[in-house]
Structure 1
Amino acid sequence: MHTVWKGSIQFGLVHIPIKLHTAVENKDIKLRQLHKKCHTPISYQKTCSHCEETVEKDDIIKAYEYAKDQFVVLEEEELKQLKKDNEDKAVQILDFVQLAEIDPIYFDRSYFLAPGEGGAKAYALLQKALSDSDKIGVAKIIIRSKEHLAIVRTYKQALMMETIYFPDEVRNVQDVPSLPEEPNVDEKELKTALLLVDQLTTEFDADKYTDEYRKDLLELIENKKNGEETVTTSPKTDEPAANNTDLMSALEASLERTKPKRKKAAAKKKRGSTAKKNA
Protein backbone atom coordinates (compact mmCIF):
# COMPACT_ATOMS: atom_id res chain seq x y z
CA MET A 1 0.00 0.00 0.00
CA HIS A 2 1.52 3.30 -1.14
CA THR A 3 2.60 5.78 1.56
CA VAL A 4 1.27 9.27 0.79
CA TRP A 5 2.62 11.08 3.89
CA LYS A 6 5.01 10.51 6.77
CA GLY A 7 4.99 12.28 10.11
CA SER A 8 3.62 11.79 13.59
CA ILE A 9 0.50 11.97 15.72
CA GLN A 10 0.82 14.40 18.61
CA PHE A 11 -1.49 14.62 21.60
CA GLY A 12 -0.24 16.16 24.80
CA LEU A 13 3.46 15.37 24.94
CA VAL A 14 3.05 12.05 23.13
CA HIS A 15 4.54 11.71 19.62
CA ILE A 16 3.70 8.63 17.54
CA PRO A 17 5.56 8.19 14.22
CA ILE A 18 3.07 7.21 11.51
CA LYS A 19 2.61 6.68 7.79
CA LEU A 20 -0.52 7.73 5.89
CA HIS A 21 -2.15 5.40 3.34
CA THR A 22 -5.21 6.16 1.22
CA ALA A 23 -8.07 4.05 2.58
CA VAL A 24 -10.37 4.10 -0.45
CA GLU A 25 -10.00 4.04 -4.22
CA ASN A 26 -12.14 5.58 -6.91
CA LYS A 27 -13.14 2.89 -9.38
CA ASP A 28 -14.73 5.21 -11.94
CA ILE A 29 -14.02 4.04 -15.49
CA LYS A 30 -12.06 6.79 -17.23
CA LEU A 31 -12.94 7.28 -20.88
CA ARG A 32 -10.58 9.04 -23.32
CA GLN A 33 -11.73 11.62 -25.85
CA LEU A 34 -10.79 10.85 -29.46
CA HIS A 35 -11.02 12.75 -32.73
CA LYS A 36 -14.14 11.31 -34.40
CA LYS A 37 -12.50 11.47 -37.83
CA CYS A 38 -9.34 9.45 -37.12
CA HIS A 39 -9.73 8.16 -33.52
CA THR A 40 -6.60 10.00 -32.36
CA PRO A 41 -6.58 10.97 -28.65
CA ILE A 42 -7.29 14.66 -28.09
CA SER A 43 -4.50 16.58 -26.34
CA TYR A 44 -4.95 19.78 -24.38
CA GLN A 45 -2.65 22.77 -24.56
CA LYS A 46 -2.56 25.86 -22.36
CA THR A 47 -3.04 28.99 -24.44
CA CYS A 48 -3.17 32.72 -23.81
CA SER A 49 -6.35 34.29 -25.18
CA HIS A 50 -4.66 37.70 -25.39
CA CYS A 51 -1.44 36.69 -27.13
CA GLU A 52 -3.14 33.86 -29.03
CA GLU A 53 -0.20 31.54 -28.47
CA THR A 54 0.60 28.33 -26.65
CA VAL A 55 2.08 28.92 -23.18
CA GLU A 56 4.87 26.72 -21.83
CA LYS A 57 5.10 25.66 -18.19
CA ASP A 58 7.97 28.06 -17.40
CA ASP A 59 5.91 31.02 -18.64
CA ILE A 60 3.05 30.43 -16.18
CA ILE A 61 2.80 32.27 -12.83
CA LYS A 62 0.20 32.06 -10.06
CA ALA A 63 -2.18 34.79 -8.99
CA TYR A 64 -5.34 35.39 -6.97
CA GLU A 65 -8.32 37.01 -8.73
CA TYR A 66 -9.78 39.35 -6.10
CA ALA A 67 -12.17 41.04 -8.57
CA LYS A 68 -13.18 40.51 -12.20
CA ASP A 69 -9.92 40.52 -14.22
CA GLN A 70 -8.03 42.00 -11.24
CA PHE A 71 -5.18 39.87 -9.89
CA VAL A 72 -2.60 39.77 -7.13
CA VAL A 73 0.49 37.98 -8.47
CA LEU A 74 2.14 35.55 -6.04
CA GLU A 75 5.79 34.70 -6.58
CA GLU A 76 6.88 31.07 -6.37
CA GLU A 77 9.45 31.88 -3.68
CA GLU A 78 6.75 33.52 -1.54
CA LEU A 79 4.57 30.41 -1.80
CA LYS A 80 7.51 28.12 -1.01
CA GLN A 81 8.36 30.14 2.11
CA LEU A 82 4.74 30.13 3.24
CA LYS A 83 4.63 26.36 2.76
CA LYS A 84 7.90 25.93 4.68
CA ASP A 85 6.66 28.03 7.61
CA ASN A 86 3.50 25.94 7.94
CA GLU A 87 4.80 22.52 7.01
CA ASP A 88 4.65 20.81 10.37
CA LYS A 89 4.74 17.10 9.65
CA ALA A 90 2.35 16.16 12.41
CA VAL A 91 -1.27 15.21 13.00
CA GLN A 92 -1.84 17.44 16.01
CA ILE A 93 -4.83 16.25 18.07
CA LEU A 94 -6.55 19.27 19.60
CA ASP A 95 -9.61 17.75 21.29
CA PHE A 96 -11.41 14.47 21.92
CA VAL A 97 -15.14 14.27 21.10
CA GLN A 98 -17.93 11.82 20.26
CA LEU A 99 -18.11 10.76 16.61
CA ALA A 100 -21.90 11.20 16.63
CA GLU A 101 -21.41 14.93 17.28
CA ILE A 102 -19.99 15.46 13.76
CA ASP A 103 -22.48 15.61 10.90
CA PRO A 104 -21.47 13.47 7.86
CA ILE A 105 -21.60 16.59 5.64
CA TYR A 106 -18.17 17.53 7.01
CA PHE A 107 -16.41 14.31 5.94
CA ASP A 108 -14.04 14.38 2.97
CA ARG A 109 -11.33 11.69 2.54
CA SER A 110 -10.28 8.61 4.49
CA TYR A 111 -6.74 7.42 5.27
CA PHE A 112 -5.33 4.47 7.15
CA LEU A 113 -2.65 5.33 9.71
CA ALA A 114 0.18 2.84 10.07
CA PRO A 115 2.81 2.99 12.85
CA GLY A 116 6.20 4.29 11.78
CA GLU A 117 9.52 2.95 12.98
CA GLY A 118 9.53 2.62 16.76
CA GLY A 119 5.92 3.73 17.08
CA ALA A 120 4.06 0.43 17.39
CA LYS A 121 3.61 0.53 21.20
CA ALA A 122 2.35 4.14 21.35
CA TYR A 123 0.18 3.51 18.28
CA ALA A 124 -1.47 0.51 19.96
CA LEU A 125 -1.97 2.53 23.15
CA LEU A 126 -3.80 5.35 21.32
CA GLN A 127 -5.89 2.86 19.35
CA LYS A 128 -6.93 1.09 22.56
CA ALA A 129 -7.61 4.36 24.40
CA LEU A 130 -9.89 5.64 21.62
CA SER A 131 -11.65 2.29 21.37
CA ASP A 132 -12.29 1.95 25.11
CA SER A 133 -13.36 5.59 25.56
CA ASP A 134 -15.54 5.54 22.44
CA LYS A 135 -14.01 8.90 21.47
CA ILE A 136 -12.32 10.37 18.40
CA GLY A 137 -9.55 12.93 18.16
CA VAL A 138 -10.08 16.25 16.35
CA ALA A 139 -6.82 17.24 14.69
CA LYS A 140 -5.08 19.46 12.14
CA ILE A 141 -2.72 18.32 9.40
CA ILE A 142 -1.04 19.92 6.37
CA ILE A 143 -1.12 17.81 3.19
CA ARG A 144 0.18 19.17 -0.12
CA SER A 145 0.36 22.78 1.08
CA LYS A 146 -3.22 22.79 2.41
CA GLU A 147 -4.20 22.74 6.06
CA HIS A 148 -6.94 20.24 6.81
CA LEU A 149 -9.18 19.69 9.77
CA ALA A 150 -9.32 15.96 10.52
CA ILE A 151 -10.48 13.31 12.94
CA VAL A 152 -8.53 10.31 14.19
CA ARG A 153 -10.62 7.27 15.04
CA THR A 154 -10.40 3.51 15.32
CA TYR A 155 -11.28 1.18 12.44
CA LYS A 156 -11.15 -2.47 13.46
CA GLN A 157 -7.58 -2.96 14.75
CA ALA A 158 -6.21 0.17 13.06
CA LEU A 159 -6.20 3.93 13.47
CA MET A 160 -7.87 5.92 10.73
CA MET A 161 -7.79 9.60 9.80
CA GLU A 162 -10.62 11.36 8.00
CA THR A 163 -10.08 14.85 6.65
CA ILE A 164 -13.15 17.01 7.23
CA TYR A 165 -14.22 20.39 5.91
CA PHE A 166 -13.83 23.55 7.95
CA PRO A 167 -17.20 25.10 8.93
CA ASP A 168 -16.80 27.97 6.45
CA GLU A 169 -16.37 25.42 3.63
CA VAL A 170 -19.85 23.99 4.20
CA ARG A 171 -22.51 26.04 2.46
CA ASN A 172 -25.44 27.48 4.38
CA VAL A 173 -28.52 25.29 4.08
CA GLN A 174 -30.64 28.46 4.05
CA ASP A 175 -29.22 29.18 0.58
CA VAL A 176 -30.89 26.05 -0.83
CA PRO A 177 -33.79 27.23 -3.01
CA SER A 178 -37.43 26.20 -2.48
CA LEU A 179 -37.03 24.70 0.99
CA PRO A 180 -40.37 24.64 2.86
CA GLU A 181 -40.39 27.01 5.84
CA GLU A 182 -42.56 24.71 7.93
CA PRO A 183 -43.29 21.02 7.21
CA ASN A 184 -46.91 20.49 6.23
CA VAL A 185 -47.35 16.73 6.52
CA ASP A 186 -50.56 14.74 6.46
CA GLU A 187 -50.74 12.52 9.57
CA LYS A 188 -51.98 9.45 7.68
CA GLU A 189 -49.27 9.79 5.05
CA LEU A 190 -46.64 10.15 7.79
CA LYS A 191 -47.81 6.97 9.58
CA THR A 192 -47.73 5.06 6.28
CA ALA A 193 -44.26 6.41 5.47
CA LEU A 194 -42.99 5.39 8.93
CA LEU A 195 -44.43 1.91 8.40
CA LEU A 196 -42.61 1.69 5.05
CA VAL A 197 -39.36 2.81 6.71
CA ASP A 198 -39.86 0.13 9.37
CA GLN A 199 -40.44 -2.61 6.78
CA LEU A 200 -37.31 -1.60 4.85
CA THR A 201 -35.14 -1.33 7.96
CA THR A 202 -32.32 -3.87 8.19
CA GLU A 203 -28.72 -4.19 9.38
CA PHE A 204 -26.22 -2.39 7.15
CA ASP A 205 -24.24 -4.80 4.95
CA ALA A 206 -21.91 -2.92 2.59
CA ASP A 207 -21.23 -6.03 0.49
CA LYS A 208 -24.77 -6.14 -0.88
CA TYR A 209 -24.47 -2.75 -2.60
CA THR A 210 -22.77 -2.76 -5.99
CA ASP A 211 -22.09 -0.25 -8.76
CA GLU A 212 -24.46 -1.53 -11.46
CA TYR A 213 -23.52 1.20 -13.94
CA ARG A 214 -19.80 0.37 -13.74
CA LYS A 215 -20.59 -3.33 -14.12
CA ASP A 216 -22.73 -2.72 -17.23
CA LEU A 217 -20.15 -0.33 -18.71
CA LEU A 218 -17.33 -2.86 -18.27
CA GLU A 219 -19.55 -5.52 -19.88
CA LEU A 220 -20.25 -3.19 -22.82
CA ILE A 221 -16.53 -2.49 -23.26
CA GLU A 222 -15.64 -6.20 -23.09
CA ASN A 223 -18.33 -7.13 -25.61
CA LYS A 224 -17.15 -4.43 -28.01
CA LYS A 225 -13.57 -5.70 -27.64
CA ASN A 226 -14.83 -9.15 -28.66
CA GLY A 227 -16.65 -7.80 -31.70
CA GLU A 228 -20.16 -7.64 -30.22
CA GLU A 229 -21.86 -4.28 -30.71
CA THR A 230 -24.76 -4.60 -28.28
CA VAL A 231 -25.44 -5.82 -24.76
CA THR A 232 -28.63 -6.67 -22.96
CA THR A 233 -29.06 -5.30 -19.46
CA SER A 234 -31.41 -6.63 -16.82
CA PRO A 235 -34.91 -5.18 -17.11
CA LYS A 236 -35.71 -2.61 -14.47
CA THR A 237 -38.78 -3.05 -12.29
CA ASP A 238 -41.30 -0.29 -12.76
CA GLU A 239 -41.37 1.91 -9.69
CA PRO A 240 -44.61 3.52 -8.51
CA ALA A 241 -44.63 7.20 -9.37
CA ALA A 242 -44.40 9.33 -6.23
CA ASN A 243 -45.86 12.78 -6.65
CA ASN A 244 -47.76 15.31 -4.61
CA THR A 245 -51.14 14.40 -6.12
CA ASP A 246 -50.95 10.66 -5.45
CA LEU A 247 -48.42 10.30 -2.62
CA MET A 248 -50.60 8.02 -0.51
CA SER A 249 -51.09 5.57 -3.39
CA ALA A 250 -47.33 5.43 -3.95
CA LEU A 251 -46.71 4.74 -0.25
CA GLU A 252 -49.31 1.99 -0.12
CA ALA A 253 -47.98 0.40 -3.32
CA SER A 254 -44.48 0.47 -1.84
CA LEU A 255 -45.73 -1.26 1.30
CA GLU A 256 -47.35 -4.00 -0.77
CA ARG A 257 -44.11 -4.55 -2.68
CA THR A 258 -42.03 -4.93 0.49
CA LYS A 259 -44.41 -7.25 2.39
CA PRO A 260 -43.71 -10.50 0.48
CA LYS A 261 -39.94 -10.02 0.77
CA ARG A 262 -40.10 -9.45 4.50
CA LYS A 263 -42.45 -12.39 5.13
CA LYS A 264 -40.32 -14.69 2.97
CA ALA A 265 -37.12 -13.62 4.74
CA ALA A 266 -38.73 -14.08 8.16
CA ALA A 267 -40.02 -17.54 7.23
CA LYS A 268 -36.59 -18.55 5.92
CA LYS A 269 -34.95 -17.34 9.14
CA LYS A 270 -37.51 -19.27 11.22
CA ARG A 271 -36.92 -22.48 9.23
CA GLY A 272 -33.18 -22.07 9.76
CA SER A 273 -33.63 -21.68 13.54
CA THR A 274 -35.89 -24.75 13.68
CA ALA A 275 -33.36 -26.80 11.73
CA LYS A 276 -30.59 -25.84 14.17
CA LYS A 277 -32.71 -26.86 17.18
CA ASN A 278 -33.53 -30.24 15.61
CA ALA A 279 -29.90 -30.89 14.68
Structure 2
Amino acid sequence: MTLSVSASQADLRVRPVDEVLDRVARSLQVRFLPDTVVRKRRIVGARTDRGTWVRVERRPLGKITAQGWNGAECAARLDGVAQPAWHGCVVWRDADEAVMWRADESDLLPGDPVGNAVLSEDPGLSDEWWGGLNASLDALAAQRTGRVATPDSETVTQASVTRSVRAVFSGGFDTAVRRWVPAHADLNWANVTAPVFGLFDWEDWGNAPEGLDSASLWASSLAVPALADRVRYERRRDFGTRDGKLMTLFVCSKILGPYAHPGDPRSEPARRMAERVVEELRADMWPGASGVVSAREFGEKY
Protein backbone atom coordinates (compact mmCIF):
# COMPACT_ATOMS: atom_id res chain seq x y z
CA MET A 1 0.00 0.00 0.00
CA THR A 2 1.31 3.46 -0.92
CA LEU A 3 1.32 5.79 2.04
CA SER A 4 -0.02 9.30 1.59
CA VAL A 5 2.16 12.07 2.95
CA SER A 6 0.97 15.66 3.22
CA ALA A 7 3.10 18.53 2.00
CA SER A 8 3.77 19.66 5.58
CA GLN A 9 4.94 16.15 6.57
CA ALA A 10 7.35 16.01 3.63
CA ASP A 11 8.77 19.54 4.05
CA LEU A 12 11.53 19.50 6.66
CA ARG A 13 11.41 23.30 6.87
CA VAL A 14 8.13 23.04 8.78
CA ARG A 15 8.02 19.43 10.00
CA PRO A 16 9.32 18.70 13.53
CA VAL A 17 12.69 16.98 13.22
CA ASP A 18 13.85 16.79 16.84
CA GLU A 19 13.30 13.02 17.04
CA VAL A 20 15.22 12.50 13.80
CA LEU A 21 18.16 14.59 14.99
CA ASP A 22 18.15 12.82 18.36
CA ARG A 23 18.35 9.44 16.62
CA VAL A 24 21.21 10.60 14.41
CA ALA A 25 23.09 12.09 17.37
CA ARG A 26 22.83 8.83 19.31
CA SER A 27 23.89 6.72 16.33
CA LEU A 28 26.89 8.87 15.40
CA GLN A 29 27.69 9.71 19.03
CA VAL A 30 27.72 13.45 18.46
CA ARG A 31 25.96 16.48 19.88
CA PHE A 32 24.47 19.04 17.50
CA LEU A 33 25.12 22.72 18.09
CA PRO A 34 21.56 24.12 18.11
CA ASP A 35 22.33 27.52 16.57
CA THR A 36 23.86 25.86 13.49
CA VAL A 37 20.86 23.84 12.30
CA VAL A 38 19.95 24.55 8.65
CA ARG A 39 16.58 23.30 7.39
CA LYS A 40 15.62 22.80 3.74
CA ARG A 41 12.69 21.05 2.09
CA ARG A 42 14.14 17.55 2.23
CA ILE A 43 17.47 18.08 4.01
CA VAL A 44 18.53 19.15 7.50
CA GLY A 45 22.14 19.90 8.39
CA ALA A 46 23.98 20.92 11.54
CA ARG A 47 27.45 21.33 13.00
CA THR A 48 28.55 18.90 15.70
CA ASP A 49 30.53 19.26 18.91
CA ARG A 50 33.50 17.50 17.30
CA GLY A 51 33.88 20.02 14.51
CA THR A 52 32.11 18.09 11.77
CA TRP A 53 28.95 18.58 9.71
CA VAL A 54 26.04 16.15 9.48
CA ARG A 55 23.67 16.19 6.51
CA VAL A 56 20.34 14.41 7.07
CA GLU A 57 18.15 13.60 4.07
CA ARG A 58 14.62 12.24 3.83
CA ARG A 59 13.92 10.42 0.56
CA PRO A 60 10.82 8.51 -0.68
CA LEU A 61 11.49 4.86 -1.50
CA GLY A 62 10.51 5.45 -5.13
CA LYS A 63 13.32 8.00 -5.46
CA ILE A 64 15.99 5.51 -4.38
CA THR A 65 16.94 3.92 -7.68
CA ALA A 66 19.76 1.65 -8.80
CA GLN A 67 22.03 4.69 -8.55
CA GLY A 68 21.49 4.57 -4.80
CA TRP A 69 21.78 7.62 -2.62
CA ASN A 70 25.23 7.08 -1.20
CA GLY A 71 26.98 9.64 -3.38
CA ALA A 72 29.07 11.21 -0.62
CA GLU A 73 30.20 7.79 0.59
CA CYS A 74 31.20 6.65 -2.91
CA ALA A 75 32.93 9.97 -3.63
CA ALA A 76 35.12 9.56 -0.55
CA ARG A 77 37.47 7.29 -2.55
CA LEU A 78 38.12 9.84 -5.30
CA ASP A 79 41.77 10.89 -5.55
CA GLY A 80 42.84 14.46 -6.23
CA VAL A 81 39.38 16.01 -5.78
CA ALA A 82 39.01 18.82 -3.22
CA GLN A 83 36.06 17.82 -1.05
CA PRO A 84 35.23 17.53 2.66
CA ALA A 85 36.47 14.22 4.10
CA TRP A 86 33.63 11.76 4.72
CA HIS A 87 33.55 9.98 8.10
CA GLY A 88 30.48 7.75 8.26
CA CYS A 89 26.73 7.49 8.04
CA VAL A 90 23.55 6.02 9.49
CA VAL A 91 20.61 4.88 7.33
CA TRP A 92 17.18 3.62 8.33
CA ARG A 93 13.71 3.02 6.94
CA ASP A 94 10.89 5.02 8.49
CA ALA A 95 8.42 2.91 10.43
CA ASP A 96 5.42 5.05 9.50
CA GLU A 97 6.12 6.38 5.99
CA ALA A 98 7.38 4.97 2.67
CA VAL A 99 10.65 6.85 3.06
CA MET A 100 14.22 6.29 4.19
CA TRP A 101 16.49 8.58 6.17
CA ARG A 102 20.23 8.97 5.71
CA ALA A 103 22.70 11.00 7.75
CA ASP A 104 26.28 11.56 6.49
CA GLU A 105 29.01 13.04 8.67
CA SER A 106 31.90 14.89 7.02
CA ASP A 107 34.47 17.57 7.66
CA LEU A 108 33.34 21.17 7.67
CA LEU A 109 33.57 23.03 4.37
CA PRO A 110 36.91 24.82 3.78
CA GLY A 111 35.03 28.06 3.05
CA ASP A 112 31.57 29.43 2.41
CA PRO A 113 29.50 28.50 -0.64
CA VAL A 114 30.28 30.98 -3.40
CA GLY A 115 26.62 31.91 -3.80
CA ASN A 116 23.33 30.72 -5.19
CA ALA A 117 23.13 28.21 -8.00
CA VAL A 118 22.97 31.14 -10.46
CA LEU A 119 25.11 34.20 -9.71
CA SER A 120 24.16 37.80 -10.41
CA GLU A 121 27.55 39.37 -9.66
CA ASP A 122 31.18 38.40 -10.04
CA PRO A 123 32.53 36.71 -6.87
CA GLY A 124 36.09 37.87 -7.58
CA LEU A 125 37.75 34.46 -7.38
CA SER A 126 41.53 34.17 -7.24
CA ASP A 127 43.79 32.43 -9.73
CA GLU A 128 44.48 29.84 -7.01
CA TRP A 129 40.75 29.13 -6.81
CA TRP A 130 40.53 28.51 -10.55
CA GLY A 131 43.57 26.28 -10.30
CA GLY A 132 41.79 24.23 -7.63
CA LEU A 133 38.70 23.91 -9.81
CA ASN A 134 40.72 22.74 -12.80
CA ALA A 135 42.77 20.25 -10.80
CA SER A 136 39.67 18.72 -9.22
CA LEU A 137 37.62 18.45 -12.41
CA ASP A 138 40.56 16.96 -14.31
CA ALA A 139 41.21 14.46 -11.50
CA LEU A 140 37.52 13.54 -11.32
CA ALA A 141 37.30 12.87 -15.08
CA ALA A 142 40.28 10.51 -14.80
CA GLN A 143 38.55 8.24 -12.25
CA ARG A 144 36.54 5.09 -12.93
CA THR A 145 33.06 4.36 -11.56
CA GLY A 146 30.03 2.23 -12.26
CA ARG A 147 27.70 5.04 -11.18
CA VAL A 148 25.68 6.98 -13.76
CA ALA A 149 25.15 10.71 -13.17
CA THR A 150 21.70 12.06 -12.33
CA PRO A 151 21.64 15.78 -13.20
CA ASP A 152 18.36 17.35 -12.07
CA SER A 153 17.60 13.97 -10.42
CA GLU A 154 17.26 12.33 -13.86
CA THR A 155 19.65 9.60 -15.02
CA VAL A 156 21.64 10.93 -17.96
CA THR A 157 21.56 8.65 -20.99
CA GLN A 158 22.16 8.99 -24.69
CA ALA A 159 18.38 9.12 -25.14
CA SER A 160 17.93 11.89 -22.56
CA VAL A 161 20.70 13.98 -24.13
CA THR A 162 19.20 13.63 -27.59
CA ARG A 163 15.69 14.33 -26.33
CA SER A 164 16.72 17.51 -24.47
CA VAL A 165 18.81 18.90 -27.31
CA ARG A 166 16.33 18.07 -30.09
CA ALA A 167 13.45 19.60 -28.11
CA VAL A 168 15.03 23.03 -28.59
CA PHE A 169 17.51 22.84 -31.46
CA SER A 170 16.84 21.59 -34.99
CA GLY A 171 18.83 18.86 -36.67
CA GLY A 172 21.74 18.90 -39.07
CA PHE A 173 24.20 17.60 -36.47
CA ASP A 174 24.80 14.37 -34.60
CA THR A 175 23.86 14.10 -30.91
CA ALA A 176 25.78 10.87 -30.24
CA VAL A 177 28.02 11.13 -27.15
CA ARG A 178 31.53 9.84 -27.80
CA ARG A 179 33.11 9.90 -24.35
CA TRP A 180 31.60 9.34 -20.91
CA VAL A 181 33.63 10.32 -17.83
CA PRO A 182 32.89 10.74 -14.11
CA ALA A 183 31.24 14.08 -13.35
CA HIS A 184 29.89 15.84 -10.28
CA ALA A 185 26.67 16.44 -12.27
CA ASP A 186 25.40 19.28 -10.06
CA LEU A 187 28.21 21.78 -10.48
CA ASN A 188 26.91 25.27 -9.75
CA TRP A 189 27.91 28.16 -7.52
CA ALA A 190 25.96 26.84 -4.54
CA ASN A 191 28.08 23.67 -4.43
CA VAL A 192 31.58 25.16 -4.44
CA THR A 193 33.38 27.09 -1.71
CA ALA A 194 35.66 30.13 -1.59
CA PRO A 195 38.18 31.58 -0.93
CA VAL A 196 39.51 28.01 -0.69
CA PHE A 197 38.13 25.81 -3.45
CA GLY A 198 36.05 22.85 -2.35
CA LEU A 199 33.35 20.81 -4.07
CA PHE A 200 30.46 19.31 -2.12
CA ASP A 201 26.99 17.76 -2.51
CA TRP A 202 27.95 14.56 -4.31
CA GLU A 203 24.54 12.88 -4.49
CA ASP A 204 24.28 13.04 -8.31
CA TRP A 205 27.82 12.16 -9.38
CA GLY A 206 28.63 9.43 -11.88
CA ASN A 207 29.48 8.88 -15.53
CA ALA A 208 28.24 11.61 -17.88
CA PRO A 209 29.16 13.05 -21.27
CA GLU A 210 32.53 14.78 -21.21
CA GLY A 211 32.12 18.48 -20.48
CA LEU A 212 28.87 18.32 -18.49
CA ASP A 213 30.39 19.89 -15.35
CA SER A 214 32.10 22.69 -17.26
CA ALA A 215 28.95 23.46 -19.23
CA SER A 216 26.83 23.42 -16.07
CA LEU A 217 29.08 25.92 -14.28
CA TRP A 218 29.13 28.12 -17.38
CA ALA A 219 25.31 28.09 -17.51
CA SER A 220 25.22 29.17 -13.86
CA SER A 221 27.45 32.12 -14.76
CA LEU A 222 25.63 33.56 -17.77
CA ALA A 223 24.09 36.47 -15.88
CA VAL A 224 27.69 37.71 -15.31
CA PRO A 225 29.31 37.77 -18.80
CA ALA A 226 32.89 38.15 -17.53
CA LEU A 227 32.45 35.17 -15.21
CA ALA A 228 30.94 33.02 -17.97
CA ASP A 229 33.88 33.94 -20.21
CA ARG A 230 36.31 32.96 -17.45
CA VAL A 231 34.66 29.55 -17.06
CA ARG A 232 34.96 28.95 -20.80
CA TYR A 233 38.60 30.04 -20.77
CA GLU A 234 39.58 27.89 -17.79
CA ARG A 235 37.73 24.84 -19.13
CA ARG A 236 38.49 25.47 -22.80
CA ARG A 237 39.76 21.92 -23.26
CA ASP A 238 36.27 20.61 -22.42
CA PHE A 239 34.43 23.21 -24.49
CA GLY A 240 36.66 22.50 -27.48
CA THR A 241 35.60 18.87 -27.71
CA ARG A 242 32.61 17.68 -29.66
CA ASP A 243 30.99 16.33 -26.49
CA GLY A 244 31.70 19.63 -24.73
CA LYS A 245 29.82 21.44 -27.48
CA LEU A 246 26.96 18.97 -27.16
CA MET A 247 26.84 19.56 -23.39
CA THR A 248 26.74 23.30 -24.05
CA LEU A 249 23.54 22.72 -26.03
CA PHE A 250 22.29 20.36 -23.32
CA VAL A 251 22.51 23.04 -20.61
CA CYS A 252 21.21 25.73 -22.98
CA SER A 253 18.16 23.56 -23.64
CA LYS A 254 17.32 23.78 -19.92
CA ILE A 255 17.45 27.59 -20.09
CA LEU A 256 15.66 27.99 -23.43
CA GLY A 257 13.24 25.06 -23.33
CA PRO A 258 9.47 24.97 -22.78
CA TYR A 259 9.79 25.66 -19.05
CA ALA A 260 12.10 28.64 -19.47
CA HIS A 261 11.46 31.69 -17.33
CA PRO A 262 10.77 34.71 -19.55
CA GLY A 263 12.81 37.01 -17.31
CA ASP A 264 15.87 34.79 -17.02
CA PRO A 265 18.90 37.03 -17.74
CA ARG A 266 20.76 33.99 -19.05
CA SER A 267 18.37 33.47 -21.96
CA GLU A 268 19.92 35.83 -24.49
CA PRO A 269 23.58 34.84 -23.94
CA ALA A 270 22.52 31.17 -23.96
CA ARG A 271 20.71 31.69 -27.26
CA ARG A 272 23.71 33.40 -28.86
CA MET A 273 26.11 30.68 -27.75
CA ALA A 274 23.73 27.93 -28.82
CA GLU A 275 23.48 29.38 -32.32
CA ARG A 276 27.25 29.44 -32.57
CA VAL A 277 27.66 25.88 -31.28
CA VAL A 278 24.96 24.51 -33.57
CA GLU A 279 26.82 25.96 -36.55
CA GLU A 280 30.08 24.42 -35.32
CA LEU A 281 28.49 21.00 -34.91
CA ARG A 282 26.89 21.24 -38.35
CA ALA A 283 30.24 22.21 -39.82
CA ASP A 284 31.76 19.11 -38.25
CA MET A 285 29.14 17.01 -40.00
CA TRP A 286 29.10 18.90 -43.32
CA PRO A 287 32.42 20.71 -43.84
CA GLY A 288 32.14 23.92 -45.82
CA ALA A 289 31.03 27.50 -45.49
CA SER A 290 28.41 27.85 -42.74
CA GLY A 291 28.32 24.07 -42.48
CA VAL A 292 26.85 23.61 -45.99
CA VAL A 293 28.48 21.72 -48.87
CA SER A 294 27.28 20.61 -52.24
CA ALA A 295 26.63 16.95 -53.05
CA ARG A 296 29.68 16.99 -55.36
CA GLU A 297 31.96 18.37 -52.62
CA PHE A 298 30.64 15.82 -50.15
CA GLY A 299 31.28 12.99 -52.60
CA GLU A 300 34.79 14.13 -53.38
CA LYS A 301 35.72 14.38 -49.71
CA TYR A 302 34.02 11.21 -48.51
TM-score bucket (shorter structure): under 0.3
- TM-score under structure 1 normalisation? 0.20
TM-score when scaled to structure 2?
0.19
Higher strand share: 1
